Amino acid sequence: MLPKTPNLPHATFSGVARINNVNLWYALFGPPIDSGRIPVLFLHGGKINSNWWGLQIKHVAEKGYPVIALDTRGHGRSSDDDTVSFSYDLFADDTAALLAYLKVPRASVTGWSDGANTALSLAMRYGDKIDRALIFGANYQPDQVNIEGMLAIPFLDDVKSRMKLEYEALSPHPGKFESFMAKMGLMQGALPNWNEQSFAQIRTRLEDPIHAPLMWIVDGASEEIIPRRVFREIRDMIPGSTQIVVRVGHFGPLQDPDAFNALLDRWLGENR
C-alpha cells in the first residue's frame, strides 16, 4: 500500500509569485532564507504537488535548514499558461526565476521523478545557482520508463485517484484536470531528450571543486518505473557524481520516510 499523502508542516510563509506569466505557489519553512545556511529546495514529481514531500520538508526544517517548497507550474496550487507547452527546461527557468525573486543566490535542490529531471535541467543551465543536487528517480530519454513495471504497481489506481482528487482540491483551475493530464502526457512522451553532450554542460567537481554542484544520483533498490541501468548511465555522464542506492521504490519518500530522511542528512552533511 501507499501511505496517505502527508500534509505540509506549518509554513512561515506561503503564497504566489508572478513568474514567467504564471502564479507559482511556494512556501517557506524553518529558519529565514537569509539566516546563513543554504536553503533546501524541494521539487515534486509529475502530476502531484509539494505535499508529497511533506515528511522530508518537516525533517529538514527541524534540522535547522531554511526550506523552500514549490508547486510546478500547472501543478498543485500553481497556475498555468495554456499557450505554452510544458518542458523540464521551462520548469527549470521557473525555478531559477523564483530563486532570484527570493534573492537566494544558491540552493540545495532535491528532486523526485519529474522534479529530478527539472533539477538536472537546473544543473545543466543554472549550475551557479545550485550548491548540491539530489536526483531521485530521473530519466534522460522518454522511452526509459518501464511501462510494464509501472502497470504492475499494486497501488497504481490509488496514485491516479490521488492525482485527480488533489488537483481538483488545490488547483486554481480545478476543472482542467483532463487537459492538464493530456499536456503532461505530451511532455513526458517527448522529454527529456538528453545525451552525453547535454550532461557535459554540468560543471563537475573535477573542474571546479569549490563551486560545482555536488551531484547525488539516487536509485531505489526496488525502483518500479525507471530501469536501474539509467541511474548508472546518468552517473557516468556526470564525472565526479555519486550514485546512492536506497532500499526503497519510486515512492520511497512516502513508504520509508526514515530511510529517505537519513539519506537527506547524509547529502546535506557531505563536505566538499
**Model confidence pLDDT, tens digit, residues 179-215:** 999 999 999 999 999 999 999 999 998 889 889 999 9
Q: Give the residue extent of every domain in the chain.
A: 13-269
Confidence of residue 119 (pLDDT cuts 50, 70, 90): very high
Give the integer Cα–Cα distance in Å for 30 and 155.
33
Distances (CA, A) of 249 to 243, 256, 260: 16, 9, 11
At residue 205, the pLDDT reads: 85
Q: What is the C-alpha separation between 132 and 215, in angstroms, rounded?
A: 6
Q: Which CATH number fits domain 13-269: 3.40.640.10, 3.40.50.1820, 3.30.530.20, 3.40.50.720?
A: 3.40.50.1820
Mean pLDDT computed over 23-31: 98
**Residue 38 to residue 174: CA distance in whole angstroms:** 35
Q: Is the pLDDT of residue 60 over 90?
A: yes
Q: Are 231 and 219 in contact (CB under 8 A)?
A: yes
Mean pLDDT calculated for residue range 58-67: 98
User: What is the C-alpha separation between 103 and 120, in angstroms, rounded?
Assistant: 21
- The answer to whether 139 touches 192, Cβ cutoff 8 Å, is yes
- Give the gyration radius of the chain's Cα atoms: 17
Q: Full-prediction pTM beyond 0.95?
A: yes
| pLDDT (0 to 100) of residue 1 | 86
Q: What is the pLDDT of residues 219-240, one digit of tens each?
A: 999 999 999 999 999 999 999 9
Cell of 199: 550532461
Number of C-beta neighbours around residue 259 at 10 A = 14
Q: What is the DSSP string of the chain?
A: -PPPPPPP---SEEEEEEETTEEEEEEEESS-TTSSSPPEEEE--TTS-GGGGHHHHHHHHHTT--EEEEPPTTSTT----TTS---HHHHHHHHHHHHHHTT-S-EEEEEETHHHHHHHHHHHH-GGGEEEEEEES--SSGGGS-HHHHHT-TTHHHHHHHHHHHHHHH-SSGGGHHHHHHHHHHHHHH-----HHHHTTSPPTTT-TTTSPEEEEEEETT-SSS-HHHHHHHHHHSTT-EEEEES--TTHHHH-HHHHHHHHHHHHH---
> Closest Cα partner for 42 from 120, 134, 129?
134
- Which amino acid belongs to residue 164? K
Above pLDDT 70, what percent of the chain?
Answer: 100
Angle between helices 257-269 and 54-62 in degrees, nearest 10: 50
Q: Is the pLDDT of residue 272 over 90?
A: no
- Of the pLDDT bands very low, low, confident and very high (cuts 50, 70, 90), residue 36 is very high
The whole-number pLDDT of residue 206 equals 84
Q: Per the omega criterion (within 30 degrees of 0), is the bond before 192 cis?
A: yes
Mean pLDDT of the chain: 97
Give the tens place of pLDDT for each residue, 122-166. Answer: 999 999 999 999 999 999 999 999 999 999 999 999 999 999 999
